[in-house]
Structure 1
């Protein structure tokens, strides 16, 4: 799900040559219909998202209702790809209108002048978490990198904090961590006793020293969201850092896996409009529609990612809020990732993290 800007900058030139023939055929929705027939002159909006179950949920909750309301044909392209976005903007040949991107990467794109400003006379931002709103980006969903575990290996007590995740004597078994410093370093510092309100600026050396203590127990350093629930289901890992939505989907499909929201690391993705997007005015209308509490709640009812519009929580059942980690008790134990810090420091820290991985 998450592709980091720093890893793709060097490939921008190469990817530019591929833009014209990239990705094969995009996933395309059917367009607004009346009496069973597609509107012949419907407008088109190209929306880029991550694909998979999140895209299917967005199709039902956001894309199809937007098509019906505005007579628009929404073309969905997946997955989000920073290199392609860069190549399009730099070449002046932008084909995408709206992009769902990681918030920290969106902030970096904003700082480089690669985005269109958002029109807040159209988009209502008052009920959106303030730290997820800038002139060029607005948070669309919350997700967690949290502790997940195999319920057969831990039928009763299980790791509930990162310190317990690190405690392989009390909670034996292989581990799996995200092959990315964002979130991984925070979990390492929490495991080493740093209080959540004192995490930033990150003490990177201390975090890497903490990771040294568990490095030998890491079965897999994963880089795709589907990996942790699979590793847990097959018992290749007993405990893993994982994205909560992936785990809850696997659980619903019968896997013996579960999320633990203690010290869960709250992350987000954001809507952005690439600079010189061909349908940027329509893109503003789309983001406004997608950010309404009704659409946000509908999305969260279909997949376990939480809304950023706080009014959407009022439209969700207590059962759904429990699954999303949005109850008062669970929220009090969570850690909000400082996306601005990562936007400013990712490249330097990522280099150091990858050097550590090779040791």
Structure 2
């Protein structure tokens, strides 16, 4: 663990050093539920997530335990498609019950009136970082868009350690890959151009695009799915990429010659939302309560290297896991959080400009 949150996550960073992170506990915690009685027809729930390694981790640590405990059959749809969600709600024909959305997107969906209110009598929010809680969404995970590299092209310690070095194609030659989305990509471009982390917002959009122009010819692939960067790096189609840390560490664990550089990593989050008109919205509330419990979130972070959003979950994780998910004191110090609220107000016009930039 999307993906700025400098203001939104100031509290998160401070708390991350003194307490522990991950989902909120409550009456649906994994240590309090018993298996559902047999013989009764299972309820159905459609959950939408991003697919790939994160979906597999959620299946083992959240979906399957919830199914067993509550006599539910979960159908997983991947990847998250915001356009489809909007079309469903606007047509009054909603097929999805729960959606894992980038937090900045969740805020935009909320603003457009496309979500159901969350029931905080069922969902226990007290231990979730307050900046990830609204009436209509609640944080699932914190992840990082960071510099990822091929370890055969760059021996450990010789890789770029900040975005300015990522942009330095003379000192660090080879093809790159960047996210085909302005969120995070513009922040990286400004950091590469020398903007101080605490001076990022409001983003100097003109300066960001000028910085992107400098590296555009070296960007071989503009990636759109989280699985792409580790694949591209593993085959040396590119030697450097912006990437989601969990996808890279999962590939590394499977023997791929890839690794993360956490310095100047860009902190983002995803959140659970319920589309307006969801067919099983009451069950969806119960599912979210379960998914953000400390036990479920700790299990999830043990399965994939994304940080929890519930303060009580980190204490359930080993020091090694905390290091891999970027939650040691030294790694927290160099992180920069995306400002979701700024993007809510500015995304549409900047995304239009970004798409034009891609076509030039």
- TM-score bracket for the superposition, by shorter chain length: 0.7 to 0.9
Find the aligned partners of 1:108 and 1:306 in 2 and give their Cα distance. 23
Show the 5 A alignment for 1:61-80. 61-80=61-80
Find the aligned partners of 2:93 and 2:282 in 1 and give their Cα distance. 17
Find the aligned partners of 2:58 and 2:167 in 1 and give their Cα distance. 36
Partner of 1:342: 343
Q: Which moved more, 1:259-268 or 1:233-242?
A: 233-242
Partner of 1:223: 224
Find the aligned partners of 2:321 and 2:293 in 1 and give their Cα distance. 18
CA positional deviation for 1:165: 0.8
Partner of 1:296: 297
Q: Which has the higher contact order (CA 8 A, sep 6+)?
A: 2
Find the aligned partners of 2:2 and 2:313 in 1 and give their Cα distance. 25
Q: Deviations over 1:70-90 (max 9, x none)?
A: 222222222222222222212
Partner of 1:158: 159
Partner of 1:317: 318
Show the 5 A alignment for 1:167-178. 167-178=168-179
**Paired residue total:** 329
**Secondary structure in 1 aligned to 2:243?**
strand
Find the aligned partners of 2:48 and 2:253 in 1 and give their Cα distance. 26
Q: Deviations over 1:213-252 (max 9, x none)?
A: 2222222222222221122122221211111111111111
Check whether the contact 2:116–2:275 (CA below 8 A) recurs between aligned residues. yes
**Secondary structure in 1 aligned to 2:296?**
helix
Partner of 1:99: 99
Gaps in structure 2 of 5+ consecutive residues: 4-33
Find the aligned partners of 2:223 and 2:60 in 1 and give their Cα distance. 29
Check whether the contact 1:33–1:39 (CA below 8 A) recurs between aligned residues. no
Show the 5 A alignment for 1:246-285. 246-285=247-286
How much is the aligned-residue C-alpha RMSD, in angstroms?
A: 1.9
Q: Which moved more, 1:93-102 or 1:255-264?
A: 93-102
CA positional deviation for 1:337: 0.6
Check whether the contact 1:232–1:239 (CA below 8 A) recurs between aligned residues. yes
Query: Is residue 207 of structure 2 the alignment partner of residue 196 of structure 1?
Result: no
Partner of 2:114: 114
Find the aligned partners of 2:56 and 2:358 in 1 and give their Cα distance. 35
Check whether the contact 1:104–1:339 (CA below 8 A) recurs between aligned residues. yes
CA positional deviation for 1:329: 0.8
**Secondary structure in 1 aligned to 2:236?**
coil
Q: Deviations over 1:287-344 (max 9, x none)?
A: 1111111100101111111111121111110111111111111011011011121122
Q: Deviations over 1:48-73 (max 9, x none)?
A: 11222211111111112112222222
From the superposition, tell whether residues 46 and 245 of structure 1 become closer, same or farther in structure 2 (CA, over 3 Å). same
Q: Deviations over 1:272-294 (max 9, x none)?
A: 01112122112111111111111
> TM-score with structure 2 length normalisation?
0.87
CA positional deviation for 1:112: 1.0
Query: Is residue 53 of structure 2 the alignment partner of residue 53 of structure 1?
Result: yes
Find the aligned partners of 1:74 and 1:354 in 2 and give their Cα distance. 36
Show the 5 A alignment for 1:7-86. 39-86=39-86
> TM-score with structure 1 length normalisation?
0.87
Partner of 1:211: 212
Find the aligned partners of 1:98 and 1:265 in 2 and give their Cα distance. 26
Check whether the contact 2:150–2:233 (CA below 8 A) recurs between aligned residues. yes
